[in-house]
Structure 1
Amino acid sequence: MDFLNNFLVVPVEYLPFMLLVLLVAFTVHEFSHAYFANLFGDPTAKLLGRVTLNPSRHLDVLGTLLFLIAGFGWARPVPVNRDNFKKPRLMGIIVSAAGPISNLVVAFIGVFIHILLYKFNVQASFSNERIGEAIDIFFNYLVHFNILLFIFNLIPLPPLDGYRIVEDLAPRSLRSKLQEFEKWSIFIFLLIVFLPPVRQVTIQPLFSLIRPIQTSFYNACAQILGLS
């Protein structure tokens, strides 16, 4: 167990919870891209069987394993042909934003269900305290990781959704310059993700927003359910 813990971003005993959370978060994220692309007239994802909540159509084995080991991973990207959209730039922005926003929605729903379980004393109803603890661990991971995905994917660097949003918002003259930048962006992306000094001054401050967002969700749901 101790040996495996040296190679994983979560303790071995929490690995099933993290795998389940990854399955939900990655699947919903990619499904949302595919759903809105198809809704706006691009059948590319649908023809590839991606407009589905079946995790096997979206998960990438290597990307999932790498996340568990290095804290960074990916799902299978959804192919989108913006030329099929009636309004390519506007609809492209919506399709790109759909993934991160879906993760934020999942986080909020997770908080709501978690507090709902507390309201009805579901955890306390189990004779085995470990079941109640398992429920808390799962929802904490679910909420935290989905907020993380929301924030991370809005970073304006290829291949993230935030870059595609900026690209669609940018005027034509700037878009050509952005395309030239793409060939170097992968190196910048890797530096930001894997080099600690660079990560601490770039994406780490963004990740500090996870806790305030999570807290605001819990406070809002507590008020909705009359527990505040």
Structure 2
Amino acid sequence: MTTAATRHSDRRISPVFLGIAAVTAVSGWAVWTDFAAQPGLAVFLFVTGAWVVSLCLHEYAHARTALHSGDISIGAKGYLTLNPLAYTHALLSIVLPVIFVIMGGIGLPGGAVFIERGRIRGRWRHSLISAAGPLTNVLFAVVCTAPFWLHALDGVPDTFRYALGFLALLQVTAAILNFLPVPGLDGYGVIEPWLPQGVRRQMEPFAQFGLLAIFAVLWIPGVNQVFFDMVHAIMRALGVTEWDTYWGQQFYRFWQGTPEIPVVTQ
């Protein structure tokens, strides 16, 4: 078993991650109970905390899949502890995704776990390692939207509902964008093992720019409109309306002033 090569300390959950999870839980409670004097701040902490938790799980999924695929060096690098500070590029994995959320309401995790691909045999395993991250976002989106498509929102406070809807929106955008076959993103990592060696060498220099290129393209109004039309179509299929995600984002941007809570919820 490949897990036998990892020490127990290599798999112990990091206090940093537990702290982030605690902030998420407390702020979520504050949103649910309307305890906070500034509900927008509580929504911001809840959504941001949950978003960072999902980023950690995204990278953990890459690392765990790599471990079981043959890269036994993963444990020593700290990737199995869910500690975001252990990532190769904390800027790409945590800081930039949070900035993207604040600026445009776009969920876009950046790959930042270093996997020793030479230890892994088989193209299917390489593809699965790349797919594991965005599949985690898909699962996170399903969990966030479950109260909507299960019609289990009776008694759920409106502000919490809107926050959950906005968080689900981030997960859906993250899953879609990460599955794009663009160098530097997980979607390209899925197909890369199946490409000719020459094509892979030509694409390699562009990997470092893929994340920023996608974000720049999304600032083009026409592209942004088409993309979010597709996102909202998926959200509606999951029971989440544009009303939910709009007000979730309005509360999230608390620095613009707390919006008046809408009376109509449909």
Structure 2 length normalisation: TM-score? 0.61
Spell out structure 1 runs of 4+ moving beyond 6 A. none
CA distance in 2, matches of 1:143, 1:196: 19
TM-superposed CA distance for 1:63, in Å, is: 2.5
The question of whether the paired residues in 1 share the 8 Å contact of 2:131 and 2:186 is answered with: yes
CA shift, 1:100, in A, is 0.7
The amino acid that maps onto 1:101 is L
The answer as to whether partners of 2:185 and 2:211 remain within 8 angstroms in 1 is no
CA distance in 2, matches of 1:147, 1:154: 11
Contact 2:109 2:174 in 1 (8 A): no
> Superposition pairs for residues 1-228 of structure 1, below 5 Å?
14-54=43-83, 57=86, 60=91, 62-71=95-104, 74=109, 77-87=112-122, 89-114=123-148, 118=152, 121-123=154-156, 132-179=157-204, 182-183=205-206, 186=209, 190-194=212-216, 198=220, 200-201=222-223, 205-218=226-239
On the 8 A contact 1:192/1:198 being kept in 2, the answer is: no
Change (3 A) 1:184 1:135: closer
Distance (Å, rounded) in 1 between the aligned partners of 2:150 and 2:220: 40
- Give, in angstroms, the shift of residue 136 of structure 1: 0.3
Shift of 1:122: 3.9
Instruction: Give the number of equivalent residue pairs.
Output: 195
Kindly tell me: are residues 195 and 148 of structure 1, through their superposed partners in 2, closer, same or farther at Cα, counting changes over 3 Å? closer
Specify whether residues 113 and 46 from structure 1 end up closer, same or farther in structure 2 by C-alpha distance, changes over 3 A only: farther
- Letter of the 1:217 partner, please give it: L
Structure 1 residues without counterparts, runs of 5 or longer: 1-10, 124-131, 220-228
Identity of aligned residues (%): 24
Q: Distance in 1 between matches of 2:95 and 2:216?
A: 17
